[in-house]
Structure 1
Amino acid sequence: MNITYIIGTVVAFAVMIVGMMQGGTDGFITISQLGNFIDPASIFIVIGCTFAVLVASFPISALAAVPKHFATIMNNKKYDPMAIIDKLVDLAQVARKNGLLALEEKGNQETDPFFKQCIMLIVDNNDADQAKEIMMNDIEQSVARHEDGAGMYEKASAVAPAFGMVGTLVGLINMLKAMDVESGGGDLGPAMATALVTTLYGCVLAHMIFGPIATQLRRRDEEETLCKLIIVEGIMSIQSGANPKFLREKLLTFMGQKQRDGAGAGKKGGGGGE
């Protein structure tokens, strides 16, 4: 589970709510202060218009993928480069002992579709350049799809403050209308509240909800892309007959130094040989 995302989001809302409850006439924190920040008209304008713009800008398939996006964000251990490196080293050992055709069974057991596809490409004895082209094209298309998903939340992050300003204009117009001297004036409070609270709602949606989601989706995309690049490099090295020990060292260059040191310590601690 993505603890940092949960903690950050909860703390941000908690701090904002505590701030809203301060500033009463007695100087103490009062729950009644929260009522000042609830305005149905503002909610209707900002949330309703933002959602409507997303519907107008993206296909239904993109909007239907929202639950999948949240599942991706919350799964913090979906991509494990070290586990992939270990699998590739094992495949290299099998290939050196029994040949590339012996990898077909391993490929059929693989649950990751991309990993399985890459294994089968070299089992089928495809040309190395053509096989790599297919793998890299798969990665490029995957990145493009993920960018479309993150772009939807980025679009919402840009639109929400804009409709916050629209709500502000609506509130100011109503306030000015209420100041008509001939009609005897009116209650300016509700109109002014709508004018200000809509801006608040727009900022909250943009920077506390949609912005972090877009950032998290891009981080997951980077993690997945790294794992796929490791797979491509490992599979191409296996096809060329790379030594398993050399392959491990080569693939570890994709990792940070701290991760490499941890992998080396774990390998020594395990006491297992090749």
Structure 2
Amino acid sequence: MNIVYLIGILLAVFFTFFGIAATISPETGFTVNLETIKNFGDISSLLIVVGGTLAVVIACYPKLALSIPKHFMIMLHSKTFDPHQYVDELMELAQIARKNGLLALEEKANEQKDPFFKQAIMLIVDANDPERVRGILTNEIEQASARHHEVIAMYERGSNAAPAFGMIGTLIGLINMLKELDSADMTSLGPNMAVALITTFYGSLLAHVVFNPIAANLTARDEEEILCREIILEGIMAIQAGENPKFLRERLMTFLNQKLSEENEESEGGKKGKAKKSRGKRK
């Protein structure tokens, strides 16, 4: 179970509604009034934002929308792709192939739970041409990445659609409120104004607490899986070429070092950007 994700979502919801209920005043001090939360419950706003957003997602991605429960299970699962584990396994395969030949890897292939890794091993066991092996595995990686990006795009679409429907609900509430200004019945002004404001709240909450974290988690899983598959590709090609296992480890570790370098550059770039902004403010 991906406990970190669940804790983050629960904390976001808790602090949002705790902030709604909590008040500080000179007379009473710090108080928590749970009755205030009832003011943020509105069925009309919920139907507009949640219903409209889901409808847009389904309309844009009709086939992928049916797999939303599966995506949640993947995201909540704590199992991740460990590149170090694949490096160790490839080292073991390289040593076996060096001692006993490529045919000795068939038994190891049957023990593999990763279908891509198993396919890669069987391709060299069957004595396929190296260019053919590389072409097949590269195509598999590209197709997997394309599928992942399409799923991520679906949740990013939902993240964009939710605030838009929040704005639609705001316009609906304002229009209804203005229509009632000329009538004698002023009791509907409050509910209409509530719809106008609460839909924006629901839209922002749905986008930043539900859709954005899912897209970010799936993006991280995609990067991990693609990195591991690239390591498998290079490792399998090196094993087929009969490369020394010691040199193979150094070669595969360059993928991890490159990944760490990219992450460090991104973090340093973010720090530099913040530093420039702070200097600009001081000026």
1:2 is displaced (CA, Å) by: 2.3
> Is residue 2:181 matched to residue 1:163?
no
The within-5 A match list for 1:1-274 is: 1-23=1-23, 28-59=31-62, 61-180=63-182, 183-187=183-187, 188-256=189-257
| Unmatched 5+ stretches in structure 1 | 260-274
Deviations 1:180-201 (A, max 9, x none): 1xx3241211110000000000
1:137 is displaced (CA, Å) by: 0.6
CA distance in 2: counterparts of 1:230 and 1:123, whole angstroms: 18
Decide whether the 8 Å contact of 1:170 with 1:195 is kept in 2: yes
Decide whether the 8 Å contact of 1:24 with 1:33 is kept in 2: no
1:44 is displaced (CA, Å) by: 0.9
Amino acid at match of 1:140: E
Normalised by the length of structure 1, the TM-score is 0.89
Amino acid at match of 1:213: I
Amino acid at match of 1:200: F
Decide whether the 8 Å contact of 1:167 with 1:194 is kept in 2: yes
Decide whether the 8 Å contact of 1:72 with 1:220 is kept in 2: no
Evaluate the alpha carbon distance shift between residue 219 and residue 258 of structure 1 in structure 2; reply closer, same or farther with a 3 A threshold: closer
1:253 is displaced (CA, Å) by: 1.6
Deviations 1:191-243 (A, max 9, x none): 10000000000000001100110111011000000110000010000011111
Evaluate the alpha carbon distance shift between residue 157 and residue 257 of structure 1 in structure 2; reply closer, same or farther with a 3 A threshold: closer
1:256 is displaced (CA, Å) by: 3.9
CA distance in 2: counterparts of 1:148 and 1:105, whole angstroms: 35
1:94 is displaced (CA, Å) by: 0.7
CA distance in 2: counterparts of 1:24 and 1:242, whole angstroms: 69
Evaluate the alpha carbon distance shift between residue 58 and residue 135 of structure 1 in structure 2; reply closer, same or farther with a 3 A threshold: same
Decide whether the 8 Å contact of 1:237 with 1:247 is kept in 2: yes
1:258 is displaced (CA, Å) by: 11
Amino acid at match of 1:163: F
Decide whether the 8 Å contact of 2:166 with 2:203 is kept in 1: yes
1:6 is displaced (CA, Å) by: 1.7
For the aligned residue pairs, the C-alpha RMSD in angstroms reads 1.8
1:66 is displaced (CA, Å) by: 1.2
1:249 is displaced (CA, Å) by: 1.7
| Identity, % of aligned positions | 54
Decide whether the 8 Å contact of 2:80 with 2:224 is kept in 1: no
1:78 is displaced (CA, Å) by: 2.7
1:123 is displaced (CA, Å) by: 1.0
In the comparison of the two structures, how many residue pairs are matched? Answer: 256
1:10 is displaced (CA, Å) by: 1.2
CA distance in 2: counterparts of 1:18 and 1:78, whole angstroms: 33
1:255 is displaced (CA, Å) by: 1.6
Amino acid at match of 2:32: I
Evaluate the alpha carbon distance shift between residue 50 and residue 138 of structure 1 in structure 2; reply closer, same or farther with a 3 A threshold: same
Deviations 1:68-100 (A, max 9, x none): 211221223331111111111110011111111
Normalised by the length of structure 2, the TM-score is 0.86
| Unmatched 5+ stretches in structure 2 | 261-283
CA distance in 1: counterparts of 2:23 and 2:162, whole angstroms: 27
Decide whether the 8 Å contact of 1:88 with 1:235 is kept in 2: yes
